[in-house]
Structure 1
Amino acid sequence: MQPEVIAELKNLFSPDHVRDHCPLAPYTTYRLGGTGELVLFPHSSEELAHMIGRLNWHDEQVELILGHGANVLIADAGIPGVTIVLRYMNAVHFEGDSLIADAGLAADTAAEVARIADRTGLEFLAGLPGTIGGATFMNARAFDHDVAGVLEWVELIEPDGKVKTYYANPADFGYKRSPFMDLPSIVSRVSLRVWNGDGESIAAAMDRHRAMRRARGEDRVLSCGCVFQNPSTREAPAGKLIDGCGLKGFGTEHAWVYASHANFMIHDGAASAAELRALFLEVQRIVAEQTGVVLQPEVRFCGEFPDDDVFTFRHDPARANQERP
C-alpha cells in the first residue's frame, strides 16, 4: 500500500482511528491471526463513509471488515491492504417502533437496550457473540428466530463512499444468508422492528438464552462460534453429525473439537490459525467420509493460508470428557 495514502489518512482522521501494521488477533474471538497492513477504526457511519471515499479516490479497496471478530479465522500472515474494524460504531436509538443501531453495536447490547425500553422482538440476540452489522450480514439465527424476521432497512456504504438504503425483502434472505454477502457494500446501520412487550417476560426469555449459552461454556473458550452451517432441515445439525462421528476431543496438540458443543473448535491459546483451519478441514473430511454429508463452513477464512502445513491429529479422551475449559 502506498505510504502517502497511509499518511493522508492519518492526517485526516484521529490518530487512534488509523493504524498501520496493527495486530488483528485482539479484534477476533479466536485471538488469532497476523497484522493488518492498514486498519481503520471509524466511530460513526459518517466517518466510515468519509474513509471509504478517500480510499476509493486512491483506488484502494477494503480487504476485510470486522465487527467483534466472531465467525472469522484470520491467517497467520495477516491481511494486506485495508481492514476496517466497526466495533466503535455503536450508537443506538429508537424511532417509533424501530431500533436504529450502528453496525458495530454488540448484538447482545441491542437486545438489552430493547429490554430496558420494554420492547420485544430481539430476545433471540441475547448472548449472541458479534455485532448487529455482522448478524445482519450473515442473517444470524438463534432460538428459531433470525435477523431477517425483524429487519426493516439497512444503510450501506458503497465502494465510492456514497450511502444508499436497502429496504428488507424476506425473499432475499435464506438460512444464514443475506444479499449483502454478494455486494461490495459495507453494512453501516440497520433498523430493526420491535414491539411493545412485558418487561419481565422479555427479561426471562433473554436470561434463558444467555443461560443456555453459558451452560455450553461458550463464553469460556477461545472459539469463533459454530464452524459449520447446519446442512438442511432433512439432516441432523452439524454438531450432532460431528458428535456422531466420535470427534469430540479430536484435534491437534493445541486445537480440538469442544466437548460441550461439537460444532465449536477451540484452542488453548498456543494454536496457530493454520492449525485451526487444518482441524476444520479434517473434521469436514471425516464427516463426509462417514455420513456422506459435506459440511459447509460458516466461519470465513480471511487472508492467505498455506497448503503445505502438516499437523498430527489424535483423539484425546480427557478432552472429549471435558465439559468446561
Structure 2
Amino acid sequence: MLGMLRVKKSAGKINIRGRLLSDEPMAAHTTYRVGGPADLFAVPADSADLAALLRFCHSEGIEPFILGGGANILVSDRGIRGLVIDMTQINRISINNDTLQVGAGLAVSDAAAWCADRGWAGLHFLYSMPGSVGGAVWMNARCYDGEIYEVLRYVDQMHPDGSTTRYLPRAEDFDYKISPFQTANRVIVDCGIALTAADRETLWQQMHSYRADRESKGHFAAPSAGSVFKNNRAFGSPSGAIIDRLGLRGLRIGGAQVSERHANIIVNTGNATAYDIDRLATLVAEQVEQQFGFTLEREVLKVGEW
C-alpha cells in the first residue's frame, strides 16, 4: 500500500503529451479480459514521451511494465503496482527498400496486412495473431513454420536513461520463444523486418488460410491468450495433444474453461477471474505431470501482484 501511494504521489513529476491515468483496469487492455487496476497507466504519444517515462521510473526506482497488445499475459486480479506503459501509440510504419520500419506498439497482424496490401511478405505468418510487433519480437513469436528472428534485421531499443541504441540480431541470442529482451533492461521501440516481394493475391490467400486455421481452433470464440503452455519436442507431441489424452477439454474452474476446441487454450467464458484461469492452468499441468511425468512450461506470463 505504501508503495502504491508513493507511486501515485510521484505522478506529478510526469510530463508527457500522451495520457496518464490512475487505477486503470487492466481487464480493458488484455486479451483475457481480466486483471485488476494499474497504479499508474501511461500511453506515450511518441518516443520522447517514452523516454520521459523511463527516466521517471529510473529516478524513482520504479520497474515499469511494458504493455503491447495485451496478449500472452495473465494480469492478477489485484492489478499491477507501479507504472504500466502502453505502447500502442508507438505505431509508425514505412518501407525502406526491402525493410519494414515499424513501431513496437502496432498490432502485428495489422502490420502483416499493411505489407501484404503492398505486395510484401515477411510478417505474413503472424497474420491474425493477437499482440503487438514489439511483443512478437520480445517473445520471438513462432507459428506456421515462421519465426520472428528469421526476418528481424534490427531493433531500436531504449534504455532507462531514455537513450536509444540499435541492436543487430545474433543467432545465439534467440531460441524457441526466447529473445535477449526478456532479460535485458531495455524497451523495444522500433523494428526492422526483412521483406520479400510476393504476389498480393497469393499472399492474401495464404494469410486467410492462417486465420481460418485459428478460427477452427477456437482462438476467437472467447477471450483467451492463445496457447497456455509451450511445446517441448522432448515430449514427442504438442502440449495440446498431451492434454487431450487426459480428456480435459471443457474442464472448468469458475469462469475459466479448457477450450472445447483446443486443449492448450484456456478461455474466459464471461465471468472468469485471473485466479480462476491460473488455478485451471495449474490443475492441467499437475494432471499432465502425474499421468505422464512431463512438466509443462507456461507460455502465458503471470503479471502483477499475485
Q: Who is 1:115 aligned against?
A: 116
Q: Secondary structure at 1:133's aligned position in 2? A: helix
Confirm or deny: 8 A CA contact 1:227 1:297 kept in the other structure.
yes
Confirm or deny: 8 A CA contact 2:51 2:163 kept in the other structure.
yes
Confirm or deny: 8 A CA contact 1:155 1:190 kept in the other structure.
yes
- Counterpart CA distance in 1 for 2:33 and 2:270 is 8
Q: Who is 2:41 aligned against?
A: 39
Q: Which amino acid aligns with 2:283?
A: E
Q: Secondary structure at 2:161's aligned position in 1? A: coil
Q: Secondary structure at 1:189's aligned position in 2? A: strand
Runs ≥4 residues deviating over 6 A:
none
1:142 aligns with 2:147: no
Q: Which amino acid aligns with 2:173?
A: D
Confirm or deny: 8 A CA contact 1:149 1:170 kept in the other structure.
no
Q: Who is 1:51 aligned against?
A: 53
Q: Who is 1:228 aligned against?
A: 229
1:6 aligns with 2:7: no
Q: Who is 2:104 aligned against?
A: 103
Q: Secondary structure at 1:304's aligned position in 2? A: coil
- Counterpart CA distance in 2 for 1:2 and 1:110 is 35
Q: Who is 1:273 aligned against?
A: 274
- Counterpart CA distance in 2 for 1:174 and 1:272 is 32
Give how far 1:6 is off.
Answer: 0.5
Q: Give CA deviations for 1:169-192 in whole Å, capped at 9, x if unaligned.
A: 122110111111111111111110
Structure 1 regions of 5+ residues with no counterpart?
306-325
- Counterpart CA distance in 1 for 2:253 and 2:9 is 43
- Counterpart CA distance in 1 for 2:208 and 2:267 is 25
- Counterpart CA distance in 2 for 1:202 and 1:116 is 9
Give how far 1:195 is off.
Answer: 1.2
- Taking only the aligned residue pairs, the percentage that are identical comes to 33
Confirm or deny: 8 A CA contact 2:157 2:164 kept in the other structure.
yes
- Root mean square deviation of aligned Cα: 1.3
Confirm or deny: 8 A CA contact 1:75 1:302 kept in the other structure.
yes
- Counterpart CA distance in 2 for 1:304 and 1:297 is 18
Q: Secondary structure at 1:188's aligned position in 2? A: strand
Q: Which amino acid aligns with 2:21?
A: R
Query: 1:202-281, aligned counterparts within 5 Å?
Result: 202-232=203-233, 235-281=236-282
Confirm or deny: 8 A CA contact 1:119 1:195 kept in the other structure.
yes
Aligned residues between the structures = 301
Pair 303,198 (structure 1): closer, same or farther in 2 beyond 3 Å: same
Pair 2,301 (structure 1): closer, same or farther in 2 beyond 3 Å: closer
Structure 2 regions of 5+ residues with no counterpart?
1-5
Q: Who is 1:282 aligned against?
A: 283
Q: Who is 2:168 aligned against?
A: 167
Q: Which amino acid aligns with 2:295?
A: V
**What is the TM-score when the length of structure 1 is the normalising length?**
0.89
Q: Secondary structure at 1:225's aligned position in 2? A: strand
Confirm or deny: 8 A CA contact 2:222 2:267 kept in the other structure.
yes
Confirm or deny: 8 A CA contact 1:22 1:37 kept in the other structure.
yes
Q: Which amino acid aligns with 1:28?
A: T
Give how far 1:3 is off.
Answer: 4.2
Q: Which amino acid aligns with 2:163?
A: K
Q: Give CA deviations for 1:95-152 in whole Å, capped at 9, x if unaligned.
A: 1111011111111111111111111122101111101000000000110101001001
- Counterpart CA distance in 2 for 1:297 and 1:59 is 29
**What is the TM-score when the length of structure 2 is the normalising length?**
0.95
Give how far 1:234 is off.
Answer: 5.1
Give how far 1:55 is off.
Answer: 2.6
The worse-fitting range, judged by mean Cα deviation, of 87-96 and 140-149 is 87-96
Q: Secondary structure at 2:38's aligned position in 1? A: strand
- Counterpart CA distance in 2 for 1:122 and 1:226 is 20
Q: Who is 2:3 aligned against?
A: none
